[in-house]
Structure 1
Amino acid sequence: MKGVYLSIVIPVYNEEESLHTLSARLMPVLEKTGKSFEVIYTNDGSKDTSIKILKELQQKYPKQVRIIDFGGNYGQHMAIMAAFEEVRGQVIINLDADLQNPPEEIPKLLEKFEEGHDVVGSYRLKRKDQAWRHWGSRFANKVRYVLTGTHMKDQGCMFRAYARPIVDQIVSGTESSTFIPVLAWKLAQNPCEIGLKHDARTQGDSKYGIYELIRVAIDLATNFSMVPIQFFTFFGMIVSGLSFLLVIYMVARRVIYGPEAEGVFTLIAIVIFLISVAIMGIGIVGEYIGRIYQALCRRRYSIRAILQDKSLEKDKTK
């Protein structure tokens, strides 16, 4: 497998219904490129028969297919990171296993990459998702831009091509959690985006629910931006100033009008509001501290096994 040009990275979590179809569509596309290639599947702790199917594919294509089998479920981005550490190609393309990003679009990514771009992102044309996911994604893209300063049309689309030096820089980081598209975009010298076809999911269910999407948003905010802490610092300064003015006002009223029972309820409401804001701020600070702890003390993921042809075990061509 020396001289591999193209590496396809595919995270897998409970995708037994789509894996055979994915392989049947993907392999002919890669063969038609005329480039040497490999396909790395990361089994992210699947509970179904995904790993069994992946082993069958590896036996069918022993020189091209490799499998990273996680010891648990660590999430899509960690599955991609693990594959990034094992890739041998000079061009790395990330592809989801659900077939919503058609493998037939890979040549378009490759063509754009070979024009001299080190990162080629994609945005979904005529997106075939539920309305709440579509509008939620648009809102999330705007929030991500505010938090990271990185302007991409579709930051949530993982169908992207990366130059090997970009992947090596991503892998060399020590973060326990990271949002790969934004990090790669920041590292790139000449990134670009192209519109690619997007299909409806016909097999299986989406593994990204509302909680997972919120979790990704929190990861993004705390990994790439100090905006949340800066916001609460600025907000705290404003509230402190207003509180000082309120104290002066209440003292003045007491001097002029004497004791007033009516103001007690207003004061209680203000105190409850400030306490809730303080708790929220503490939660955000705790999120940052938790990430420091994870980076220092915790492994990002656990690999049960790497399944590949024996002839590839000593071949770690960079």
Structure 2
Amino acid sequence: MNAPQLSIIVPVYNEEAGLPALFSRLYPALDMLAQKRQLQYEIIFINDGSRDRSAAMLGQQFEARPDTTRVVLFQNNFGQHMAIMAGFEYARGEYIITLDADLQNPPEEIDALVQELVAGHDYVGTIRTNRKDTLFRKSASRLMNHLREKITHITMTDQGCMLRGYRRRIIDLVGKCNESNTFIPALAYTFATNPTEITVQHEERFAGESKYSVYQLIRLNFDLVTGFSVVPLQIFSILGMLLALAAGSLFATLLIRRFIIGAEVEGVFTLFALTFFLIGVMLFGLGLLGEYIGRIYQQIRQRPRYVVQAVLEKP
């Protein structure tokens, strides 16, 4: 096969109910784009250890469109970002687009990203308009985006949208990073020299539920913050000094009151509250330190980030 100019990477995990709708919209959109821009494309589906019929359906789609379809089958579930990393490894195009399989980001928006890549931008971020998520999720997302930007200094407006475009140079640099845990949009952004952002539409999830639980979202944010900044550790160092200073001042105050006023028990509960507060701060600080140590531990084991069971592609 001639190498395509455009590669679309689609991670798939338990998307049996939504795959037919994805196929019915993605291929026509790309066929129209290919005719309009006179380029060839490929779609790389990465089955991330799905437990439903997703793998079988991807195999059927490969048989139906072998010239434009490739399927990478993971042995187990390794997570969305590892699936995208595998897609980067198998992608052959100069322009690479990542797309979720749940149709919340319309495939018809791919043309707008390709336009920016062809214009010379090496990284195209997206900002979702009219988001269909719950109010809690949208509010939490805005808060975390703002917090992450302050800590990591990575200025991406909408860090949760995986519909993004990259040029080959960025993908090659990302491939040289052997990090066990990473946040791909942020990692790629650090290598970009001419990034841009565009607005894209956002739709209701076609079928099923989000694969990200509250715990997984928290884990993702920890990966982003600890993977790109040591500011949290510095904050706790400063906080530790301030608390030590406050504790010393409180001790001096109580000692002076002891000699001037005499023994008193009214402040016992205040001391208990301060003690529990300090214990909480110390435990949180230890947990944060453990996050960094855990990342080091996972990295030095040098285990494979993912295991590919099979690849369906035209010889």
Could you say whether these structures have the same fold, taking a TM-score greater than 0.5 normalized by the shorter chain as the test? yes
Alignment of 1:81-160 (within 5 A): 81-160=85-164
Tell me the equivalent position of 1:307: 312
Shift of 1:124: 1.0
Let me know the Cα RMSD of the aligned residues. 1.4
Which residue in 2 is equivalent to 1:2? Answer: 2
Secondary structure, in 3 states, of the residue corresponding to 2:258?
Answer: helix
| 2:263 aligned residue | 259
Structure 1, residues 44-94: CA drift from partner, whole Å, max 9, x if none? 111111001011011112222111111221211111011111111111000
Does the alignment pair 1:12 with 2:16?
no
What's the CA shift for 1:2?
A: 3.0
Q: TM-score, normalised by structure 1?
A: 0.94
Aligned position for 1:291: 295
The separation in 1 between residues aligned to 2:251 and 2:149, in whole angstroms, is 39
1:31-110 pair list within 5 angstroms: 31-32=31-32, 33=34, 34-110=38-114
Query: What is the CA deviation profile of residues 110-144 of structure 1, one whole-angstrom value per residue up to 9, with x for unaligned ones?
Result: 11111110011111121122222222221121112
Match of 2:177? 173
Say which SS state the counterpart of residue 85 (structure 1) adopts: helix
| CA distance in 2 between partners of 1:269 and 1:305 (Å) | 58
State which drifts further: 60-69 or 162-171: 60-69
Corresponding residue for residue 22 of structure 1: 22
Give the AA of the match of 1:279: L
Which position in structure 2 is the counterpart of 1:315? none
Distance 2:11 2:151 in 1: 26
Aligned equivalent of 1:161: 165
Equivalent-residue separation in structure 2 for 1:117 and 1:84 (angstroms): 18
Q: Which region of structure 1 is more displaced relative to structure 2, 123-132 or 7-16?
A: 123-132
Secondary structure of the equivalent of 2:268? helix
Moved more, 252-261 or 219-228: 252-261
Q: What is the aligned counterpart of 2:274 among 270, 274, 277? A: 270
Per mean C-alpha deviation after superposition, the further-off stretch among 182-191 and 269-278 is 269-278
* Paired position in structure 1 for 2:222: 218
In the alignment, the residues of structure 2 paired with residue 39 and residue 121 of structure 1 have an alpha-carbon distance, to the nearest angstrom, of 20
Alpha-carbon distance in 2 for matches of 1:124, 1:248: 55
After TM superposition, what 4+ stretches of structure 1 lie above 4 angstroms from structure 2? none
Structure 2, unaligned runs of 5 or more: none
Moved more, 208-217 or 36-45: 208-217
Q: Distance in 2 between matches of 1:134 and 1:40?
A: 30
Alignment of 1:195-206 (within 5 A): 195-206=199-210
Deviation at 1:191, TM superposition (A): 0.3
Listed as ranges, the gaps of 5+ residues in structure 1 are 312-318
Deviation at 1:169, TM superposition (A): 0.8
Equivalents in 1 of 2:185, 2:269: separation in Å?
49
Higher mean C-alpha displacement, 94-103 vs 21-30: 21-30
Letter in 2 for 1:139: L
Secondary structure at the aligned position of 2:90 is classed as: coil
- Supply the distance in 1 between the matched residues of 2:104 and 2:273 (Cα, whole angstroms): 49
Give me the whole-angstrom Cα distance separating, in 2, the residues matched to 1:276 and 1:36. 57
2-structure distance, mates of 1:249, 1:180: 51
Give the alignment's TM-score, normalised by structure 2: 0.94
Larger displacement relative to structure 2 (9-18 or 209-218): 209-218
Alpha-carbon distance between aligned partners in 2 of 1:110 and 1:95, rounded to the nearest angstrom = 13
DSSP 3-state at the match of 2:140: helix
